[in-house]
């Protein structure tokens, strides 16, 4: 079993829809949770960052962490064609020596105009 | 600022050949990483470095070697390439432990081993 599980999709939704992307994890030591966005043939870029449980909002994007369920989500409101990309979740523990991130496999998202 | 650059962008090797991938960053970052990305496998860490002169193994280090002789450069070597090393290789850098979550990625190198 992988430490981080992510549905690879692909996921296609019409423009303007709300998108929900999710990851589950098994390592209870994970404390920091991130979402990276990767456009086709490009390197990933950090989109959202949260610590421990709770919500964080940034414009049309909301990240949620539920540590009790070991489940994290990324919501995209009013989705745009420019949101079409692969979204990777990533996480790590809090102690020194945890410089390494564990990534999910990524979910490929297409927003249909 | 160029950010993180990778050389070359594409390469085709024959089994048994060797090559070196170069990663350079101009952000004065302490940490640097090498990943490979394969369909269905996500990003897997090969080796990383927490400072000039240091290297450490990641999740899939076998068949690769690295060196960090200068802070701004991180080299990934394949001594004897195998078809299983066909992949897209990404280099990343980050400021240090407090900012280690913000990894800045290069554009990738597409490597095919025949």
CA distance A14 to chain B (A): 25
CA distance B79 to chain A (A): 25
- The chain A residue lying nearest B110, using CA atoms, is A41
Q: For chain B, which ranges sit under pLDDT 70?
A: 97-101
Is some CB atom of chain A closer than 8 A to the CB atom of B103? yes
Helix (H, G, I), strand (E, B) or coil at B99: helix
Give pLDDT, residue B96.
75
| Inter-residue contact A105 to B40 (CB < 8 Å) | yes
| Inter-residue contact A34 to A4 (CB < 8 Å) | no
Give pLDDT, residue A63.
96
| Inter-residue contact B38 to B97 (CB < 8 Å) | no
Q: What is the dihedral of CA A7, A8, A14, A18, to 10 degrees?
A: 40
- The chain B residue lying nearest A89, using CA atoms, is B42
Helix (H, G, I), strand (E, B) or coil at B45: strand
Most A CBs within 10 Å, among B89, B103, B108, to test the A interface: B103
Closest Cα to residue A106, out of A2, A3, A1, A9? A9
Give pLDDT, residue B100.
55
Is some CB atom of chain A closer than 8 A to the CB atom of B43? yes
CA distance A15 to chain B (A): 26
Q: Is the Cβ pair A99, B50 closer than 8 Å? A: yes
Q: For chain A, which ranges sit under pLDDT 50?
A: none
How far is residue A24's CA from residue A73's CA, in Å, rounded to a whole number?
A: 9
Residues of B in contact with A104 (CB under 8 A): 42
Give pLDDT, residue A6.
94
Q: A100: Cβ–Cβ under 8 A, 6 or more apart, which residues?
A: A92, B33, B45, B48, B58
Give pLDDT, residue A99.
67
Is some CB atom of chain A closer than 8 A to the CB atom of B48? yes
C-alpha distances in Å from residue B112, one per residue of A39, A103, B109: 21, 23, 10
Is some CB atom of chain B closer than 8 A to the CB atom of A61? no
Q: B23: Cβ–Cβ under 8 A, 6 or more apart, which residues?
A: B4, B5, B6, B32, B34, B73, B74, B75, B76, B91, B93, B106
């Amino acid at each position: 079993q992988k430490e981080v599980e992510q549905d690879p999709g692909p996921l296609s939704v019409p423009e303007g829809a709300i998108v929900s992307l999710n990851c589950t994890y098994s390592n209870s030591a994970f404390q920091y949770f991130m979402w990276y966005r990767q456009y086709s043939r490009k390197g990933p870029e950090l989109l959202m960052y949260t610590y421990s449980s709770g919500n964080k909002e940034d414009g049309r994007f909301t990240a949620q962490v539920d540590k009790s369920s070991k489940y994290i989500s990324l919501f995209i409101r009013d989705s745009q064609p420019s949101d079409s990309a692969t979204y990777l979740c990533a996480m790590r523990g809090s102690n020194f020596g945890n410089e390494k991130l564990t990534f999910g496999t990524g979910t490929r998202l297409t927003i249909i105009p | 600022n160029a950010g993180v650059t990778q050389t070359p962008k594409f390469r085709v090797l024959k089994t048994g050949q060797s090559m070196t991938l170069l990663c350079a960053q101009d952000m004065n970052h302490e940490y640097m990483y090498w990943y490979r990305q394969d369909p269905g496998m996500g990003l897997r860490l090969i080796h990383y470095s927490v400072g000039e002169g240091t290297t450490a193994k990641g999740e899939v280090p076998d068949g690769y070697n690295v060196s960090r002789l200068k802070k701004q450069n991180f080299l990934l070597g394949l001594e004897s390439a195998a078809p299983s090393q066909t992949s897209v290789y990404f280099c990343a850098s980050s400021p240090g432990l407090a900012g280690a979550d913000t990894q800045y990625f290069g554009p990738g190198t597409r490597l095919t081993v025949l």
